[in-house]
């Protein structure tokens, strides 16, 4: 399996090379990320991206794109199950899907346009906000209906 | 290195972009028809089916992406990666099947 590859750097026209390292450790962490995200009900991207960044040593933009790919694939499996069971209400899912598509379009353009440094800062701020939200929810502050 | 086939990234990008646009257009049309459908001669059931078709397409796209990747890797004779794609496809199918059974 080839695990040394490259991705295009926007603007410069160059391709940045990278090597995937410590694959077994990465696989183990991804398993842990999957278990934790299922337990806590949070998007696994916030757990997968640091794991790919630190253990597999992927560039942050590659980690973000790979995380999107993985989430799409895993969500498709559960999405298909819910769909065939008739659990998806078009009145609710329609606006949610449209909003998500619009947000994803903006996010994909931002991912290409902004520097890796700003992407890292944005990611850390998002992680902190998520942590604060979970702490507040655990302390019973704010809307906690989803925890009941 | 030149190959006979377009780069995989380009094929995937086109398929995903076109799929997302068609899916989103169907959802937007279905939602519009649901609120204004009577004056357009569209029944609420048909409007709901349009939205559902768009949602189904959006769910299908990541699966289609894995299928395309598997085929593209196989055509490039990259057997380890085509086997990985097949493995991912099998996991998606199994997970969806188990998800329906476990309810």
| More confidently predicted of B36 and B89 | B89
Alpha helical stretches, state H, A12-115: 23-40, 45-54, 60-85, 90-113
- Tens digits of residue pLDDT in A30-82: 888 877 777 776 667 778 888 888 888 888 888 888 888 888 887 888 888 88
CB atoms within 10 A of CB A112: 12
Percent of chain B topping pLDDT 90: 40
Among B31, B96, B97, B103, the strongest candidate for a mutation testing the A interface, having the largest count of A CBs within 10 A, is B96
The verdict on B12 touching A (C-beta cutoff 8 Å) is no
Highest mean pLDDT among A30-39, B62-71, B93-102: B62-71
Task: Measure the CA–CA gap between B55 and B27, rounded to whole angstroms.
Answer: 7
Complex-level ipTM beyond the 0.85 threshold: no
Q: Which of A40-44, A126-130, B57-61 has the highest mean pLDDT?
A: B57-61
Shortest distance between the Cα of A39 and any Cα of chain B, in A, equals 16
State the average pLDDT over residues A90-102.
Answer: 91
What residue of B is the nearest CA neighbor of A76?
Answer: B59
Residues A113 and A120: beta-carbon distance below 8 Å: no
Cβ–Cβ gap A98/B56 under 8 Å: no
pLDDT exceeds 90 at position A15:
no
The confidence band for B2, taking pLDDT boundaries of 50, 70 and 90, is very low
Q: Check CB contact under 8 Å for B96 and A74.
A: no
Q: A83-92 pLDDT, tens per residue?
A: 998 888 988 9
Picking from A76, A85, A94, the nearest residue to B63 by CB comes out as A76
């Amino acid at each position: 399996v080839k695990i040394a590859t490259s991705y295009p750097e926007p603007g410069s026209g160059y391709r940045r090379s990278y090597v995937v390292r410590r694959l077994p450790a990465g696989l183990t962490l991804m398993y842990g990320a999957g278990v934790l995200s299922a337990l806590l009900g949070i998007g696994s991207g916030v757990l997968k991206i640091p794991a790919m960044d630190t253990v597999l040593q992927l560039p942050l933009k590659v980690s973000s794109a790979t995380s999107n790919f993985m989430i799409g694939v895993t969500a498709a499996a559960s999405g298909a199950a819910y769909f065939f069971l008739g659990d998806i209400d078009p009145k609710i899912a329609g606006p949610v899907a449209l909003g998500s598509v619009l947000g994803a379009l903006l996010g994909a353009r931002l991912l290409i346009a902004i520097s890796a440094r700003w992407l890292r800062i944005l990611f850390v701020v998002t992680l902190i906000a998520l942590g604060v939200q979970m702490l507040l929810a655990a302390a019973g502050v704010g809307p906690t209906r989803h925890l009941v | 290195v030149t190959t006979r086939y377009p780069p995989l990234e380009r094929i995937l990008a086109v398929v995903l972009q076109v799929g997302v646009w068609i899916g989103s257009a169907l959802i937007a049309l279905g939602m519009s028809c649901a609120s204004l459908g009577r004056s357009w001669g569209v029944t609420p059931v048909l409007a709901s089916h349009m939205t559902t078709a768009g949602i189904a397409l959006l769910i299908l796209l990541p699966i289609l992406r894995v299928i395309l990747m598997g085929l593209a890797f196989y055509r490039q004779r990259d057997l380890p990666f085509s086997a990985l794609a097949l493995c991912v496809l099998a996991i998606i199918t199994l997970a969806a099947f188990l998800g329906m059974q476990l309810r």
